[in-house]
Chain A
Amino acid sequence: MPIRGKTFIADFSRLLVADKPFYNPAMPTIEIKNLSKTYRVYQKQEGLIASVRGLFHREYREVHAVNDINLTVEEGEFVAFLGPNGAGKTTTLKLLSGVINPDQGSVEVLGHVPWERENEYRRKFALVMGQKNQLWWDLPAMESFRLNQHIYCVPKDEFERTRDELCEMLNVTSLLGRPVRELSLGERMKMELIAALIHKPDVLFLDEPTIGLDVVAQHKIQEFLKAYQQEQNNTILLTSHYMKDIEALCKRVVIIANGSIYHDGSLEDIVDQFSGDKIVTLQLHDDRSLEAISKIPNLIEIDAPKIKFRVDRDGVGRVLSQILSEHAVDDIVVEDPPLEEVISNVFSQAEEKGRREVETHS
């Protein structure tokens, strides 16, 4: 196999020359230090006169898409990037995959600097964008897979094994021969994933892989990603707006807002830290109690014989014991508020913090 041999020699010669450190497994897979990226956006005024003026003199506004981010990801981690639209998630993924250069800071992924775009690095990662189609539109997905096989120098038998495995996991073997344009969005997304995984990337960047998919397809893709990651132990970074994706997949969640990291930790951490409330649902024995309790502050809804309300985390015990002593209660459920709600609170807090910072600066 001359192809493998060649990369081996290339690796080996780098060891000897040693001008760049050879990738050391003890190093973190992804290391981001003080990363910043600023876009210059052309500020167009409204109106014809302004348009003409814009031909000669352009006003630009600076957008800090990524602002001094520090992040370390170890091998085998499955990390979610969460944040409102325009927070800098996609920009970060683009920086990590070498599509754009930063203004400041350093990144190392698997020991490579992404924006140097060495072929060696490019054979080790994959980027899947849910909104972009990377397959050949008029041809069966099989053809795109084969092209990727050669682009990434995957030996034939290994390629066939990987492909069959992935197709089986995603249950799309029967669709391999059908032109991509005739596939449904969910089927196409599965094919996109297979195409990206043909070369068994060590690092995988997923930018909203479940966007626009129905619940069943979303669930299928989640299950697949989970199983695949456990099997391969590769490192995956995912952005998504669906909390279900993140709940199902990621132990670690990084919240990005206004280009900065606002929180880095587990999902439970976020709920603990950002949600002061619990939601209590009571099923009451008689309507009289229902009426009495309905005067409670922070009522959410009454759906007789059930009543739902919000209680301060620290006050749950006190409130419940008081109610229990006065009324007959059939059932009690105490739960965290829905994740979507917590996250949207976090987002608005983060945005407000960002706005305050801008004001104090100017």
Chain B
Amino acid sequence: MLESAVIWWTFFKISINERLIYRADFMLGTLMRFLPTLTQIFLWWAIYDVISNNEPNNTGAEPDGNIAGYKYGDMVAYYLLVIISRAFSSMPGLTGGIANQIRNGEVKKFLIQPVDMQGCLLMQRIAHKLVYYLIATLPFALVFFLCRDFFIEGWPPPDALAVFFASLILSFLLGFYLECCIGLIGFWFLEVTSLTFIYMLMNFLLSGHMFPLELLPAEPFNIRQLVEYLPFKYLAYFPAAVFLGKIEGPELYRGLLAEIGWVVFFIVLSRILWHRGIKRYSGYGG
């Protein structure tokens, strides 16, 4: 136990050093994150503008300028919060990185040396994220300060806030292990790019990254209900909805429990995939 703690700690420190080499790249990346959101905010501004000028009943909007329960301010706040969720749950390069390591044989390192691959990757990822937050806090704080008026309800009550933070940490783990699993499929199919692409699309639509999940249709297929049974919504929608008070009461904790369930599920799945994968790898030759 102690010896692995020392290994992970060293690994963590080295990853931080490695990341700090790319500071400038990081700064730029952080600023770029706000750009797509800006276009979305303008789009919704135009939409809300149209519905407030029209007869309320033939646009599908509710009479008081709401869309699916979101006022314009809520909508902007939602997108800003989704950026935060995504800052925890998105794992750029993880899937492709694992698949590449399998394809070019670097994965051998984890068979030869007495270290665990997922532990290494997790440490690396935590280090990367921490460095990212360190650098991103300032621009984030600035944007949120400028946009503070969009948060109509202000700060959520303390219990919702606690669930919000807990769900962010869990969304990091969920994103990590989910993408790990997809990357490990590389043991069976050497090329996972198309799989990653499908995952990206699903994630974009079903996680609430593109728009709040309340906007998903219930007809002809009840997609709105479907996403409740999928893990994606915890990657973007859930923390944001908790903060905005869209999820309340016992639903808060039920959601959190379900999220924990998904995290455990993907941890177990990734272990199984890893063990099956290296068995196959070592059986068919590396």
A interface residue numbers (CB < 8 A to B): 2-3, 6, 37, 39-40, 65, 91, 94, 97-101, 115, 117, 119, 122-123, 126-127, 132, 134, 136, 138-139, 143, 146-153
Contacts and interface: CB of A to CB of B under 8 A. Distances in A.
B230 to A, nearest CB: 29
A143 B11 CA distance: 9
A153 B1 CA distance: 12
Interface of A, secondary structure class, is mixed
Contacts of B10: 146-147, 149-150
Contact of B114 (A39, A149, A152): A152
Given A3-B6, A138-B21, 9 more contacts: A122-B113, A126-B112, A132-B106, A149-B10, A150-B7, A150-B11, A151-B113, A151-B115, A152-B114
A65 B112 contact: no
A39 B282 CA distance: 11
Contacts, number: 75
A153 B3 contact: yes
A307 B199 CA distance: 73
A100 B18 contact: no
Nearest to B14: A143
A122 B285 CA distance: 19
Interface string B111-140: 111110000000000000000000000000
B156 interface: no
Nearest to B109: A134
20 contacts: A3-B2, A37-B285, A40-B284, A97-B112, A99-B112, A100-B281, A100-B285, A132-B106, A132-B108, A138-B18, A139-B18, A146-B10, A146-B14, A147-B14, A149-B10, A150-B3, A150-B6, A151-B7, A151-B114, A153-B3
Contact of B11 (A99, A101, A147): A147
B56 interface: no
B17 A139 contact: yes
Interface string B224-249: 00000000000000000000000000
Contacts of A139: 14, 17-18, 21
B7 to A, nearest CB: 5
Given A6-B3, A150-B7, A150-B10, A101 B283 contact: yes
Interface size class on chain B is 20 to 34
Contacts of A152: 113-114
B286 interface: yes
A136 B10 CA distance: 13
Interface string B28-60: 000000000000000000000000000000000
Interface centre among B10, B111, B281, B285 (most CB of A within 10 A): B285
A39 B106 CA distance: 20
Interface in B238-286: 279, 281-286
Contact of B14 (A2, A3, A100, A136): A136
Contacts of B281: 100
Contacts of A153: 3
Given A132-B105, A138-B18, A139-B18, A100 B282 contact: yes
Contacts of A65: 285
- Most A CB contacts (10 A, CB to CB) among B3, B14, B21, B279 go to B3
Contact of A94 (B14, B106, B113, B286): B286
A101 B7 contact: no
Given A136-B18, A147-B11, A122 B112 contact: yes
Contacts of B279: 101
A99 B14 contact: no
Interface string B192-223: 00000000000000000000000000000000
Contacts of A115: 282
Contact of A3 (B3, B282, B283): B3
B21 A91 contact: no
Interface string B91-113: 00000000000000110110111
A148 B2 CA distance: 16
Contacts of B3: 3, 6, 150, 153
Nearest to B283: A101
A244 B142 CA distance: 65
A98 B112 contact: yes
B32 to A, nearest CB: 22
A153 B5 CA distance: 11
B266 to A, nearest CB: 24
Contacts of A150: 3, 6-7, 10-11
A145 to B, nearest CB: 11
